[in-house]
Structure 1
């Protein structure tokens, strides 16, 4: 499918992202190790949220224990333990600043290598390869692409991502994510790999990785994918991704330029703003707030 849709993100949003990206790049040049540690510090939360979108029952605390080499506190399926540790391994590989993967060209070989790592010990029979033969998949009412044409469609999407109609970086990445999920090239692991690829593309554009949250998936993420599947519209995904990118930028800038970050509710009391107003502004990213462990935070010295 070609990139098409309704109004994407307005010029004001594009300019805000570009201004913050310029600041972020300056901080990256001065504090590369700090920014690497911030990204690595998000690994458990990123893994937890991505798996939760796929209905994993592990909590964030369970995920942290697994990534530290332990076991979850309650009885969980062994598959969920592998899902957490494997996705963490892929995420760590994605974030390696000196690796060829960091911001490099996205290729089929790279996608298959990450998929092999994701499903290792879970579905070794389908790990590291696209669907083939009679391996049809369905998500709700959506039927993935014919297995016979999956490789061709992924190749075409990768090419169109680079050479297709002019789009800003956020719109192009959002379009590719929707196209990848509509193709649904794998028997298993499509959503998690798709979100890894989204972050790989963001890193390649000099932007930080984002965390797609599970809590609002039924009112934000799933409807955005559905809009593309049904009407070839990627505008909803573009707007969602723009908000996530703004949040990731705000977080890194606050952590590196402010002496303290505090809960948004405390900040709102300090400046005389109603809590629900502050929360709504945070969701719209008209306040430079960001989530840590699903709690909204903000630089204590922010005025606005």
Structure 2
């Protein structure tokens, strides 16, 4: 019988055989995990942002909605903490410390705030929640059976947290990563060292272990909250295997998703279309009803060439310079409908093309339907041949209401309305894909002895 941990090991092996992942596939998987973890971990604790609103916030910085500013701030802060534990995990020599855990609490809670509380006598009160400090008052939770479970006393927290760190360091490398991650989560929750944020931090620490072992994150769905708490309650009575198995099942989901991404498959799930449609409706609602739809024209093509293609040419030239050391020379070619120009520098050649040939073509009223940037390198220094190497191509297609960008190494094209430009990140995304494609080709040529 294959246990959950056995299946985790089998899937982990399958995933690692597919690595390294194509950059575009890696990017969409990273985005999926990032959104799923931030949305669900916060939703479990009562944050009311929808999945679509979470994406708009984290990807576009959109805070327009009917939620409190604190909910937006805490979602952003949680995202920062998630990225932080991933960075910590990359440094294999860096140990996990109590200070790290306090920093996580300080980050996700943003700043001190007042919260409703109940005194030991059962009276309602309000308490200032400090950030980054261990609790000063007892905390508890009411179980499903109605009993009140008291977490560690405030006076015991410092020594219990040090014991937790000592335990983690002693077991790291000996326990299965999923067991270690699940038990670190459980032991931390049993202490409940802070006045607020304990659940979120427990899931961040669990994923610190996953990242440290080069495994995808554990994502507890908010829709799974009842089963999640039930598994934790079973651990409270000594049945740790139930909770470990529950965590392993979530890891299996993440691994299967990662394998799909590595194979270039669709990683959308049932319900994802509804999320995307809701997000689209929100985006459309934010666009003015009076927005003018630009159509392909001489002025529009001139603007795209100036505001989109020229910046790409500059960044591509910077990237091409890094390849020059491997070759004897290079040549660039820029082509448009009925015209073109050759040169050595991509950015300088495009500048000349824009000012001279493109301007002349547009003045004549020539219908420009595409512009292509191409590069070739002559003779690879490390091998004995006279071959010219295709360094990649970036093509811009001009449709009636939008322009489209296709480039070597990028599986999906990028489409924009004519009044939309590209961000710096989008430009670097395009250039990096072409560069990675060319780099892989060079490595294959060298491995094959120049053939």
Structure label with greater radius of gyration = 2
Between 1 and 2, higher relative CO (CA 8 Å, sep ≥ 6) is seen in 1
**RMSD in angstroms over aligned alpha carbons?**
2.8
Structure 1: runs of 5 or more not aligned: 1-9, 265-290, 296-304
TM-score by length of 1: 0.74
Alignment of 1:1-304 (within 5 A): 12-29=3-20, 31=22, 34-35=25-26, 38-67=29-58, 68-73=60-65, 75-96=66-87, 104-121=94-111, 123=113, 126-132=130-136, 135-140=137-142, 141-164=148-171, 167-218=175-226, 220-229=227-236, 231-260=237-266
- Separation in 1 of the partners of 2:111 and 2:85? 20
Q: Matches of 1:60 and 1:257 in 2, distance apart?
A: 26
1:212 CA displacement: 0.5
**Are the counterparts in 2 of residues 136 and 146 from structure 1 also a CA contact under 8 Å?**
yes
Which protein has the bigger strand share? 2
Query: Unaligned stretches of 5+ in structure 2?
Result: 114-127, 143-147, 276-451
Is contact 1:65-1:72 (8 Å) kept? no
User: In the alignment, which residue of structure 2 is the partner of 1:267?
Assistant: none
1:131 deviation in Å?
Answer: 1.5
More helix, by proportion: 1
Residues 102/227 of structure 1: CA separation in 2 closer, same or farther (3 Å cut): farther
Q: TM-score, normalization: structure 2?
A: 0.51
Query: How many residues are aligned here?
Result: 253
Task: For residue 56 of structure 2, give the secondary structure of its aligned residue in structure 1.
Answer: helix
- How big is each residue's C-alpha offset from its partner over 1:263-288, in whole Å with a ceiling of 9 and x where there is no partner? 57xxxxxxxxxxxxxxxxxxxxxxxx
Shift of 1:259: 4.3
- Distance of 2:111 and 2:163 partners within structure 1: 30
Contact kept, 8 Å, 1:94 with 1:102, in 2: the verdict is no
Question: Distance between the aligned counterparts of 1:227 and 1:53, measured in 2?
Answer: 19
Q: Are the structure 2 counterparts of residues 27 and 36 from structure 1 closer, same or farther at C-alpha, using a change threshold of 3 Å?
A: farther
**Equivalent residue, structure 1, for 2:362:** none
